[in-house]
Structure 1
Amino acid sequence: MIKVVLIDDHELVRTGFRMILQQQPDIQICGEAGTAEEGLRLIRAKTPDIALVDVHMPGMSGIELTERVSRSKLATHIIIVTVVDDARFPKRLLDAGALGYLTKGCTSEELLDAVRQVASGRRYLAPAVAQQLALATLDGEGSPFDALSSRELEVAMMLVRGKALTTIGEQLNLSPKTVSTYKQRLMEKLQVDHVISLAHLMTIHGLLDTHNNQVGNNLLG
């Protein structure tokens, strides 16, 4: 039996996934969460085989959740499900530890296939994303965010949501001075000098969904 948890801030999305998955005799839904923070607690408590995770959620992002699950060496495999299908974005998530990547436009058959493949320890990428990744590799295309470490990207995601250095430090168990160093380093790597410029760059490269991110909307005016 494949145990699955659903982590998405949209109840309708969770309901749709649940309706598809719970009909399968080999899949069991063992919990749902509307935020990444709740999702992380759920993963620790239920130790599911699979977590279906949205990227853009209030508070902690799907990238941060994926990184923390990977860093804690938890047995749960992460499948990212998002509206973003830019190849550079899943590359960052795969680097952070995700084993699967689906877009929200996927079919029910593709969702089930992804859950079963990832549960067996294999990587699953939506076909269109896999093709983009392959072409990007061949063309030598890249994103400026490829230069960031997972921790630097984590700090960047929190900065564009308007979190103070002290708050970021508390959530990541780092001193404000260390967070400030990460901020300076990532700004230099991306060649930006303000959080507004950082948010704009993240939006261009698919790392910030301003339609569902109030802070991003405020930053970008």
Structure 2
Amino acid sequence: MAIRVLLVDDHALVRTGIRHILDEAAGIEVLAEASSGEEAVELARKEQPDVILMDVNMPGIGGMEATRKIATAAPDVKVIVVSVHATDPYPSRLLEAGAQGYLTKDCSGDEIITAVKRVHAGERYLSAEVARKLADSLLSGGKGTPLDQLSQRELQVMLMIIQGHSVQAISDKLFLSPKTVSTYRHRLFQKLEVENDVGLARFAIRHGLLDDSPLSANDNG
């Protein structure tokens, strides 16, 4: 039986490229596509794909929260993250959230196929660059940046803030009260020593969470 794959990316062109790669691979079937974390969670519950190829930065809850929800709601579904971000906190936090694999978007088509097959077989799969950087972080004690002191939820709220979501929007997406979101926001300002959302975005750019301004955050996954 073919490995059933769900493609999740907010860029149709990226999904088309990956679909073309997988359509040429023996033993792999693209089951469906999704353009947001919310769609990914819904399809994971409904369709129970074998493997999900998951983008990180997307509108809505994003890939990190979607991965966490899928790990809880559909634990048999394997998630492989495909992202432009090779450095922490993304790889370690996505693995903590329940991902079984992590690829960078400059990987080859052959590596995508290999990752899908190996993760489906029950293995973990990390691209060589990600594995090397995780090992370097481990050997250095894993305390490389102030981001290491953030909880999983604080990091999730931070990612949504720098993508331009309001407190109310974050509240709605994460099923938290606005007061709770505001508390997380205040903690972020304290822990990262910034004064406002603009300072948070500048911090994110310095530490590789954004490649440009907050307005272009959704252009990079």
Verify same fold: TM over 0.5. yes
SS of 1:5's equivalent? strand
* Number of the residue aligned with 1:157: 159
Residues 4 and 30, structure 1, Cα contact 8 Å, conserved in 2: yes
* C-alpha separation in 2, matches of 1:90 and 1:197: 24
Amino acid in the other structure paired with 1:98:
A
* 8 A Cα contact 1:144 1:190, kept in partner: yes
- Matched AA of 1:84: H
Q: 1:196 aligns with which of 195, 198, 201?
A: 198
What amino acid is aligned across from residue 111 of structure 1 in structure 2?
I
Root-mean-square deviation (Å): 2.0
Matches within 5 A, 1:26-37: 26-37=27-38
CA shift, 1:120, in A, is: 2.0
- In the TM superposition, residue 153 of structure 1 has moved relative to its aligned partner by 1.1
What displacement does 1:215 show?
A: 6.1
Q: Distance in 2 between matches of 1:208 and 1:139?
A: 24
Give 3-state SS (helix, strand or coil) of 2:209's partner.
coil
1:24-67 deviation per Cα after TM superposition (whole angstroms, max 9, x unaligned): 33211100112222222222221111111111223332122112
Give the corresponding residue for 1:3: 4
What secondary structure, in the 3-state scheme, does the structure 2 residue paired with 1:29 have? strand
Q: Give the TM-score normalised by structure 1.
A: 0.88
Deviates more, 1:13-22 or 1:81-90: 81-90
Which consecutive unaligned segments of at least 5 residues does structure 2 have?
none
CA distance in 1, matches of 2:121, 2:86: 24
Aligned match of 1:20: 21
Q: How far apart, CA to CA, are the structure 1 residues paired with 2:73 and 2:186?
A: 26
Is the CA contact 1:92–1:146 (under 8 Å) kept in the aligned structure 2?
Answer: no
1:97 Cα deviation (Å)?
1.8
Mapping 1:58-77, distance limit 5 Å: 58-77=59-78
Partner of 1:115: 116
| 1:99 alignment partner in structure 2 | 100
Gaps of at least 5 residues in structure 1 are none
Find out whether 1:89 has 2:84 as its counterpart: no
Distance, in Å, in 1 between the alignment partners of 2:203 and 2:123 is: 32
Give the paired residue count. Answer: 216
Range with greater deviation from structure 2 (15-24 or 70-79): 70-79
Q: Distance in 2 between matches of 1:155 and 1:84?
A: 18
Question: 2:53: which partner in 1?
Answer: 52
Q: Quick one: distance in 2 between partners of 1:47 and 1:177?
A: 35
Q: Percent identity?
A: 45
